[in-house]
């Protein structure tokens, strides 16, 4: 078993595939390297394999062929529970525990890690401040929060154990456009401060350009291209071009600086 | 002749038989919970097993209760004492609603919540104890409520094999064509079922509104 090397990529996929038993191939020999501190956006339309790729990274799914290395060590050699606690996880539907207060939602992982109660309390306060929520919300239940507040709690919960990696699956997808833009902006600032390795799944081009340091465009389980945000806006690769055009105000103007209606086109 | 005559004339006997009745139904539902809870959790994770187990348990309900009490005479140890037979039969009947609701309750927990819990790194046991069971509790209590009412009702028939309970008064009254005697058994049995139903219903409501 290889020991984690300091120069190894945080996450590396080498010809990684995932195929449903007797069914379609959802991820098809994908190769990617995600270095520490980078925000990689997995961009693509529904069914392109982005969520599946994300779930391979924290072993919610295991590759059916190819290799997946976490800090240089094969994913299968990691204990899935330990691995997931090193990777925060935030999803579109948030999935807050409805029977727990905000405080217990955020403090659940520290609690199962047997942190002392005082330290958990303090960590919850820190995290609420970090995601821009008032400390008075700690005793609220998820049903008493707005959609934007719930998403913030979801992000705070994912950060509870201060994991080096953050996996996010359309974390701002269920919000109205204004709240979404607000949270995206805040997350961009937060990410600069924290310097986590982030893998973010989205179909929203604007979000990808705003938050990504790298954009991996997926099509039917394949990697259609890997770009920096600047390259993505300039390239004439057909898949990237098609994606841009879908978001652009008119077919004749394929390079929009700010697509007006994100989210709906894919 | 007044329907309440026998009840008022023999309060101690009615009370003793009521306690016997509660004991029969209570022990049986207790056993059904002890078996049904872990079994329900186990089958909730395995759909193929769930179909098989629920099919078998379901088929018990096809057997008329009087016949089931009779069949159990042939079972070693169980057949030696009437209360043992009664408790086994009642437990089998009470098992279905509990098993079905434990399974349905767990499967009914919002998938996003379970996905988030698993993705964040909860173990299966932590997910079950801290998330799935608490969120399924309202549905599980609903199943226990059905089981209790069912057991209190069917326990009256246990008197036919000499297991005691309020059914004794009813069967005696039927044999003697004495309505007051039948009533002395039926009224407390109905009240028991009603009280159990209302109190568990209240509990269920409280548990469900948290979710």
Assign 3-state DSSP to chain B and report helix, strand, coil percentages, each to 5: 85, 0, 15
Question: With contacts defined as CB-CB under 8 Å, which chain A residues touch B210?
Answer: 98-99
Contact call for B113 and A98, based on CB within 8 A = yes
Is B138 an 8 Å CB contact of chain A?
no
Residue B94 lies in a domain: yes
Contact call for A60 and B210, based on CB within 8 A = no
Residue B129 lies in a domain: no
H/E element holding B39? helix B11-44
Q: Which residues contact A179 (CB under 8 A, 6 or more apart)?
A: A147, A148
Average pLDDT over residues A175-192: 90
Is B133 an 8 Å CB contact of chain A?
no
Nearest to B29 by CA among B132, B155, B173: B155
User: How many Cβ atoms are within 10 Å of A97's Cβ, its own excluded?
Assistant: 20
Residue B78 lies in a domain: yes
3-state secondary structure of B92: helix
Is B125 an 8 Å CB contact of chain A?
no
Contact call for A89 and B134, based on CB within 8 A = no
Contact call for A95 and B126, based on CB within 8 A = no
Per-residue confidence (pLDDT) for residue A75, from 0 to 100: 92
What are the φ and ψ backbone dihedral angles of A93, each rounded to 5 degrees? -80, 5
The mean-pLDDT minimum among A5-19, A38-52, A134-148, B79-93 falls in A5-19
Total domains in the fold of chain B: 1
3-state secondary structure of B137: helix
Residues A85-107: pLDDT tens digits? Answer: 999 999 988 899 999 999 999 99
Nearest CA in chain B to A55: B119
Nearest to B115 by CA among A158, A82, A204: A158
- Confidence label for A256 from pLDDT (cuts 50, 70 and 90): very low
Per-residue confidence (pLDDT) for residue A99, from 0 to 100: 93
Domain that holds residue B147: 5-109+136-209
More confident: A189 or A8 = A189
- Cα A212 off chain centre by: 10
- Is pLDDT above 90 for A249? no
3-state secondary structure of A257: coil
B201-209: long-range pairs with CB below 8 Å, 24+ = B201/B145, B203/B141, B204/B138, B204/B141, B204/B142, B204/B145, B207/B137, B207/B138, B207/B141, B208/B138, B208/B139
DSSP 8-state symbol, A160: T
Of B110, B118, B131, the CB nearest to A60: B118
Please give the torsion angle defined by the CA atoms of residues B182, B188, B189 and B190, in that order, rounded to the nearest 10 degrees.
100
CA–CA distance, B58 with B54 (Å, rounded to integer): 6
Q: How close is the nearest chain A Cα to the Cα of B132, in Å?
A: 10
Nearest CA in chain A to B113: A95
Going residue by residue through chain B (211 aa), what tens digit of pLDDT does each one get? 588 888 889 999 999 999 999 999 999 999 999 999 999 999 998 989 999 999 999 998 888 888 888 888 888 888 888 889 999 999 999 999 999 999 999 999 999 999 999 999 999 999 999 999 999 999 999 999 999 999 999 999 999 888 899 999 999 999 999 999 999 999 999 999 999 999 999 999 988 876 5
Per-residue confidence (pLDDT) for residue A143, from 0 to 100: 93
CA–CA distance, A31 with A43 (Å, rounded to integer): 15
Q: Which of A52, A61, A92, A98 to mutate to test the interface with B (most CBs of B within 10 A)?
A: A98
CA–CA distance, B95 with A141 (Å, rounded to integer): 34
Nearest CA in chain A to B122: A81
Contact call for B113 and A83, based on CB within 8 A = no
Contact call for A112 and B119, based on CB within 8 A = no
Residue B130 lies in a domain: no
Contact call for B210 and A158, based on CB within 8 A = no
Q: Which residues contact B202 (CB under 8 A, 6 or more apart)?
A: none
Residue B116 lies in a domain: no
Contact call for A83 and B210, based on CB within 8 A = no
ipTM: 0.83
Residue B119 lies in a domain: no
Contact call for B119 and A97, based on CB within 8 A = no
Residues A211-243: pLDDT tens digits? Answer: 999 999 999 999 999 999 999 998 888 889 888
Per-residue confidence (pLDDT) for residue B70, from 0 to 100: 81
Average pLDDT over residues A95-121: 95
Nearest to A99 by CA among B103, B206, B134: B134
| Strand intervals (E) in A52-112 | 65-70, 73-74, 87-91
What are the φ and ψ backbone dihedral angles of A169, each rounded to 5 degrees? -110, 100
Q: How close is the nearest chain B Cα to the Cα of A255, in Å?
A: 36
Contact call for A93 and B121, based on CB within 8 A = no
Nearest to B72 by CA among B55, B59, B87: B87
CA–CA distance, A207 with B154 (Å, rounded to integer): 63
Per-residue confidence (pLDDT) for residue A152, from 0 to 100: 93
Per-residue confidence (pLDDT) for residue A3, from 0 to 100: 44
pTM: 0.85
CA–CA distance, A107 with B206 (Å, rounded to integer): 25
Average pLDDT over residues A114-136: 94
Contact call for B120 and A157, based on CB within 8 A = yes
Of A84, A96, A97, the CB nearest to B121: A84
Residue B21 lies in a domain: yes
Residue B114 lies in a domain: no
Q: In what order do the strands lie in the sheet with A197-202?
A: A87-91, A165-169, A197-202, A39-43, A214-219, A222-227
Q: Which of A59, A94, A97 to mutate to test the interface with B (most CBs of B within 10 A)?
A: A97
CA–CA distance, A215 with A163 (Å, rounded to integer): 22
In the block, tokens 């568990």 appear at: B200
What are the sequence ranges of the domains in chain A?
Answer: 96-162
Contact call for B116 and A95, based on CB within 8 A = yes
Average pLDDT of the residues of chain A: 88
**B13 neighbors B192 (Cβ within 8 angstroms):** no
The CATH code of the domain that includes B202 is: 1.10.3720.10
Of A83, A112, A154, the CB nearest to B122: A112
- Cross-strand bridge partners of residue A17: A65
Q: Which residues contact B154 (CB under 8 A, 6 or more apart)?
A: B65, B89, B90, B93
């Amino acid at each position: 078993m290889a020991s984690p090397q300091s120069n190894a990529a945080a996450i590396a996929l080498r010809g990684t595939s995932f195929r449903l038993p007797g069914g379609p191939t959802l991820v098809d020999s994908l190769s990617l390297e995600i270095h520490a501190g980078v925000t990689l956006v997995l961009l693509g339309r529904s069914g392109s394999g982005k969520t599946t790729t994300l779930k391979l990274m924290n072993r919610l799914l295991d590759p059916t062929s190819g290799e997946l290395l976490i800090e240089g060590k094969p994913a299968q050699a990691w204990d899935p529970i330990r691995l997931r606690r090193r990777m925060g996880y935030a999803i579109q539907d948030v999935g807050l525990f409805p029977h727990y207060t905000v405080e217990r939602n955020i403090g659940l992982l520290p609690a199962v890690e047997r942190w002392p109660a005082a330290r958990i309390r303090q960590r919850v306060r820190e995290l609420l401040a970090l995601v821009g929520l008032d400390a008075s919300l700690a005793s609220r239940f998820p049903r008493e929060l707005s959609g934007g507040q719930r998403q913030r709690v979801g992000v705070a919960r994912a950060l509870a154990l201060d994991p080096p990696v953050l996996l996010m699956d359309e974390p701002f997808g269920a919000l109205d456009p204004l709240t979404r833009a607000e949270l995206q902006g805040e997350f961009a600032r937060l990410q600069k401060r924290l310097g986590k390795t982030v893998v973010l799944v989205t179909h929203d081009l604007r979000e990808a350009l705003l938050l990504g340091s790298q954009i991996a465009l997926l099509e039917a389980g394949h990697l259609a291209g890997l770009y920096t945000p600047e390259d993505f806006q300039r390239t004439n690769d057909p898949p990237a071009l098609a994606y841009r055009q879908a978001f652009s105000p008119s077919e004749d103007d394929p390079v929009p600086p700010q697509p007006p209606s994100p989210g709906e086109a894919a | 002749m007044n329907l309440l005559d026998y009840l008022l004339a023999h309060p101690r006997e009615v009370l003793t038989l009521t306690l016997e009745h509660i004991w029969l139904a209570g022990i049986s539902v207790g056993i059904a919970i002890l078996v049904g809870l872990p079994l329900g959790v186990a089958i909730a994770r395995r759909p193929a097993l769930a179909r098989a187990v629920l099919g078998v348990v379901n088929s018990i309900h096809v057997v008329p209760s009087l016949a089931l009490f009779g069949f159990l005479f042939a079972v070693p140890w169980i057949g030696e004492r009437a209360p043992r037979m009664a408790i086994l039969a009642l437990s089998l009947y009470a098992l279905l609603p509990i098993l079905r609701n434990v399974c349905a309750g767990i499967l009914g927990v919002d998938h996003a919540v379970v996905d988030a819990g698993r993705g964040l790194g909860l173990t299966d046991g932590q997910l079950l104890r801290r998330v799935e069971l608490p969120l399924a509790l309202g549905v599980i209590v609903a199943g226990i409520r059905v089981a209790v009412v069912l057991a209190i009702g069917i326990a009256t028939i246990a008197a036919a094999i000499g297991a005691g309970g309020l059914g004794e008064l009813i069967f005696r009254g039927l044999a003697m064509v004495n309505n007051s005697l039948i009533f002395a058994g039926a009224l407390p049995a109905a009240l028991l079922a009603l009280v159990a139903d209302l109190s568990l219903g209240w509990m269920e409501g409280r548990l469900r509104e948290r979710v």
